[in-house]
A = this chain, B = another copy of it.
């Protein structure tokens, strides 16, 4: 099913998932193209970012952001082209990053939420990854909460994803020993060969915890938490005194329908935080660090221009494939930053 100039495809939330999201939780609706008023622009979606936080927005459990309403278009970051403009700052053909369009072909904006992109500087889709929210998350979490010092051991999971890959490479730039965790031999090889990490441990291995311990003979000083689950279980006993744990995600739990069986280790975690004098800090990137975006944008653009940051995307064609792709993302089936190509780059 192709994007066209006559109708707007909208991927809406049909029902709330119980466990992993499935196709049945989504419904594709067709509508006519929205019309714009003075001061507005009509946007066509070229790329849609898929990110783990979207699972939370599908649920009505209490979270840090409002859930998507049933029947409403799914939210998400998109790379758009301006189709037509009644706004002085935007012209037809401009590339922009938006967070108000979401999972659909066309959207309208008054310009306030838009960030203009220069396709000559970097591929526009990078603004959904290393040059955007995931990269910014990695940057601030590692720099501000992780407080890395040269020679320290930094462990990062989901190391081939956009957050993990940024953390891993920044860690190396800052002189840390970086131990990556990824799912499967192929991802681990990628991390070793392209991200420059010192070691990569496959969390699917039967002896994962032993391998991690072996890869961290001096313990762990910083653990960048974006997955949780059995990865954190293996990390916990290896944490050093004064360890720092920035927490930006706990993907392993996003599809959980009930708490895991006991014993209850909540008190154990608190005792460990005390005895190891650890810092555990959760953050939501734009809420906590929005004011520091320029610092990130400057550093990351320079690193990319200097060839110091390797970035891998997995681009899946077709808005209709977004539900399956999101489900796979939550199971770690993606390899690199997952992006849906909703429409073609060229003007229609």
A264 to B269, alpha carbons, bound, how many Å?
11
A67 to B195, alpha carbons, bound, how many Å?
43
CB contacts (< 8 Å) of A263 on chain B: these are 258-262, 264
A199 to chain B, nearest CB (A): 24
A129 to B268, alpha carbons, bound, how many Å?
28
Q: Beta-carbon contacts of A214-249 to B below 8 Å, as 1s and 0s?
A: 000000000001001100100000000100000111
Interface residues in A267-291 (C-beta closer than 8 Å to B): 267-271, 273-284, 287-288
A268 to chain B, nearest CB (A): 6
For the complex, count residues of A whose C-beta is within 8 A of B: 43
Say yes or no: A273-B277 contact (C-beta < 8 A), given A260-B263, A264-B265, A267-B228: no
CB contacts (< 8 Å) of A252 on chain B: these are 267
CB contacts (< 8 Å) of A280 on chain B: these are 270, 273, 279-281
B267 adjacent to A277 (CB under 8 Å): no
B282 adjacent to A253 (CB under 8 Å): no
Does any Cβ of B come within 8 Å of A266's Cβ? yes
Does any Cβ of B come within 8 Å of A63's Cβ? yes
A270 adjacent to B225 (CB under 8 Å): yes
A140 to chain B, nearest CB (A): 12
A282 adjacent to B287 (CB under 8 Å): no
B264 adjacent to A273 (CB under 8 Å): no
Does any Cβ of B come within 8 Å of A22's Cβ? no
Does any Cβ of B come within 8 Å of A250's Cβ? yes
CB contacts (< 8 Å) of A259 on chain B: these are 262-265, 267-268
A85 to chain B, nearest CB (A): 37
Q: Which of B64, B266, B276 contacts A268 (CB 8 A)?
A: B266
Q: List 22 A-B contacts (CB under 8 A).
A: A63-B275, A64-B241, A64-B275, A64-B276, A232-B267, A247-B270, A250-B271, A250-B274, A253-B267, A253-B270, A253-B271, A258-B263, A263-B264, A264-B265, A266-B266, A266-B269, A273-B280, A274-B284, A276-B282, A277-B287, A278-B281, A279-B280
